[in-house]
A = this chain, B = another copy of it.
Amino acid sequence: MADPTKILLDESEIPTHWYNVVADLPAPPPPPLHPATHEPIGPDDLAPLFPMALIEQEVSAERYIEIPEEVREVYELWRPSPLIRAKRLERLLDTPAKIYFKYEGVSPAGSHKPNTAVPQAYYNAAAGTKRLTTETGAGQWGSALAFAAAQFALECEVWQVAASFTQKPYRGSMIRTWGATIHSSPSDLTEAGRAILAQDPDSPGSLGIAISEAVEVAASSPDAKYALGSVLNHVLLHQTVIGEEALKQLAEVGDSPDLIVGCTGGGSNFAGLAFPFLREKMAGRMDPHVLAVEPAACPTFTKGEYRYDYGDVAGMTPLVKMHTLGHDFVPDPIHAGGLRYHGMSPLLSHMYELGLFEAEALPQSACFDAAVRFARTEGIVPAPEPTHALAAAIREAEACKETGEEKVILTALCGHGHFDMAAYDAWFAGELVDHDYPEDKVREAMARVPEIG
């Protein structure tokens, strides 16, 4: 069919393999170091937290890793996800550019997170794990893991940052609906939690504290393991189903992307879309520009240092070489909670240093302006995180109107905003302010066309 709005794949076309970009890099990423000895860590150091199959994926240099049939069967509930041509948005912008978005909000949890939650639950169940622990902020990752745990009859315990637990109760309702247990963090169930509560009984919590609680329980329980929703290599690996499908879908309509743009927090959504296209680029089969967009309030790539740092606030995790704002950096409380991480995936950080993609930071007011234009034309109300990529995509499409270029722009809409409507209320109430971004600076950021290409 000529010129479709939605490019769908049959479920027999769900990828059979994840793509491991490490196999194609000119140099391997630097190894993680033990927090005490500062020596490279080995698989055994991670064994208390993760099953061996995931540890092997974490350090693998194999180009393709087969997706187990049991995982593909759960993916069938929503995958392949649609690739959608944003025709009505293009019409609003009056642009000759084509804008495509890969929509991951069709998953049960409403984001790309189940792409890795499902295999993580599967490998744990196969290894005899009975219970998964994790932390969650606003609840996107916690709900994805709760859903995945239900598919493999695992118990699941989620520590949610206390402030979110109170203010945004409905992700917790979803977690309970899928049969998982949710605790407000800090909790009195762990030493880490009790220590914080002893100092401050009304602590609002933080992701760092919640991680400590989930890790403590997993490390001290023989039948429990811990699961992480971004940053690590195996998480990025699992997300490559997004890009593999998008490659096929664009090929089906005879298009090749000139620009690929994704938002970055820990990096898994961006990596999932970009890695398969970067494989094609490194092999000389296509030549897209690839752009990561991060919040101006948490500018890891664009203002962070590339050095060894801890993954958590308390300094309990291995040291990883990454772009970091410092493990004690506390970003402004912007609404894109999923992007408020002080560090960046070590693998993506390494690839950024290799010059494989570019990055920029955008203020959230520019992002919500884009979000509303998108919602009023395409219908979908986006989560605050992917609006960063939408803002850059819209700016590029507007630049094409000036130049007359018929660029093909591809972005990842990694989730819907059904549980983020308070952010839209704040936007319409004029209460969304940006760290260090007065109105004229916002206009300036959005007027600037990135010097890519």
Q: List the interface of chain A (C-beta within 8 A of B).
A: 1, 4-6, 8, 10-12, 76-78, 84, 88, 106-110, 147, 150-151, 169-170, 173-174, 176-179, 372, 375-381, 418-419, 421-422, 424-425, 428
Q: Given A11-B5, A170-B421, A173-B424, do A379 and B88 touch, yes or no (CB 8 Å)?
A: no
Taking the closest CB of chain B, its distance from the CB of A380, in whole angstroms, is 6
- What residues on B are CB-neighbors of A173 within 8 Å? 421-422, 424-425, 428
- What residues on B are CB-neighbors of A106 within 8 Å? 106
Q: Given A78-B379, A169-B425, A170-B421, do A372 and B177 touch, yes or no (CB 8 Å)?
A: yes
> A444 CA to B93 CA in the complex, in Å?
59
> A11 CA to B82 CA in the complex, in Å?
12
- What residues on B are CB-neighbors of A5 within 8 Å? 11, 76-77
From B76, B174, B379, A421 is in contact (CB under 8 Å) with: B174
> A77 CA to B6 CA in the complex, in Å?
7
- What residues on B are CB-neighbors of A376 within 8 Å? 150, 177-179
The 5 lowest CB-CB distance pairs between A and B, nearest first, are A108-B379, A173-B421, A418-B418, A170-B421, A5-B76
Nearest-CB residue, chain B, relative to A75: B5
Q: Across the interface, do B418 and A379 meet the contact criterion of CB distance under 8 Å?
A: no
Q: Across the interface, do A108 and B421 meet the contact criterion of CB distance under 8 Å?
A: no
Nearest-CB residue, chain B, relative to A1: B12
Q: Across the interface, do B176 and A424 meet the contact criterion of CB distance under 8 Å?
A: yes
Q: Across the interface, do A375 and B177 meet the contact criterion of CB distance under 8 Å?
A: yes
Taking the closest CB of chain B, its distance from the CB of A169, in whole angstroms, is 7
Nearest-CB residue, chain B, relative to A428: B176
Q: Across the interface, do B11 and A10 meet the contact criterion of CB distance under 8 Å?
A: no
Nearest-CB residue, chain B, relative to A109: B379
Nearest-CB residue, chain B, relative to A147: B379
- What residues on B are CB-neighbors of A377 within 8 Å? 150
Q: Given A173-B421, A375-B177, A381-B177, do A1 and B10 touch, yes or no (CB 8 Å)?
A: yes
Q: Across the interface, do B421 and A375 meet the contact criterion of CB distance under 8 Å?
A: no
Nearest-CB residue, chain B, relative to A7: B11
Most chain B beta-carbon neighbours within 10 Å: one of A6, A109, A419: A6
- What residues on B are CB-neighbors of A425 within 8 Å? 169, 173, 176
A-B contact pairs, 8 of them (CB 8 A): A6-B77, A108-B381, A110-B418, A147-B379, A173-B428, A174-B421, A177-B381, A178-B376
From B78, B151, B174, B381, A381 is in contact (CB under 8 Å) with: B174
